[in-house]
């Protein structure tokens, strides 16, 4: 009887800070949970038409941030974040998204909680969304 082992996928991505590895001098890679966190963060912060040849990818959160700061706009942001993650990040299952207004800081506190597929550990990302001048 053959023994089958279940292989857990090792996700990897480039670190967009483009820091050099101290030993090899190559660009540092993000792996595992850090790679998926970076991917989710990038999707949320990407506007439509930011990516050449894939202009349809994005949440358009930056455009929504120019609306008045109120709970209705927070709901629009929540829906935009939910939609972009569900459509373009197949490795995660969303548990909860909360967007709270922060009028004193002129922005929104967003928290995205998700589970990476084939794992049971929840992952939480906190973002502060503010207008880019």
Dig out the tokens for 92 from the structure: 């995660």
96: alpha, beta or left, given left = phi > 0 and alpha = psi -120 to 50? Answer: beta
pLDDT tens-digit series, residues 18-33: 788 888 888 888 888 8
Residue listed under structure tokens 């906190």: 126
Q: Exposed (0-12), middle (13-18) or buried (19+): which is 7, by Cβ within 10 Å?
A: exposed
List, in order of start, the domains of the chain with CATH numbers.
Answer: 12-22+32-130 (3.10.450.40)
Q: Which residues of the chain have pLDDT under 70?
A: 1-9, 133
- How many angstroms separate the CA atoms of 57 and 50, rounded? 8
pLDDT tens-digit series, residues 57-72: 988 888 898 888 999 9
- CB-based contacts of 1: which residues, under 8 Å, 6+ apart? none
Q: What is the reported pLDDT for 4? A: 64
> 87 φ, ψ to 5°?
-80, -35
**pTM (two decimals):** 0.83
Quote the radius of gyration of the chain (alpha carbons, Å). 17
């Amino acid at each position: 009887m053959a023994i089958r082992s279940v292989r857990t996928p090792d996700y990897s991505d480039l670190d967009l800070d483009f820091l050099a590895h101290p030993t090899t001098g190559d660009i540092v890679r993000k792996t595992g949970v850090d790679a998926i966190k970076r991917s989710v963060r990038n999707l949320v912060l990407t506007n439509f038409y930011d990516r050449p040849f894939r202009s349809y990818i994005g949440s358009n959160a930056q455009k929504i941030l120019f609306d008045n700061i109120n709970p209705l706009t927070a709901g629009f942001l929540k829906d935009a974040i939910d939609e972009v993650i569900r459509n373009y990040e197949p490795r995660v299952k969303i548990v909860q998204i909360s967007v709270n207004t922060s009028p004193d800081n002129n922005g929104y506190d967003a928290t995205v909680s998700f589970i990476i597929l084939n794992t049971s550990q929840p992952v939480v990302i906190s973002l502060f969304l503010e207008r880019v001048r």
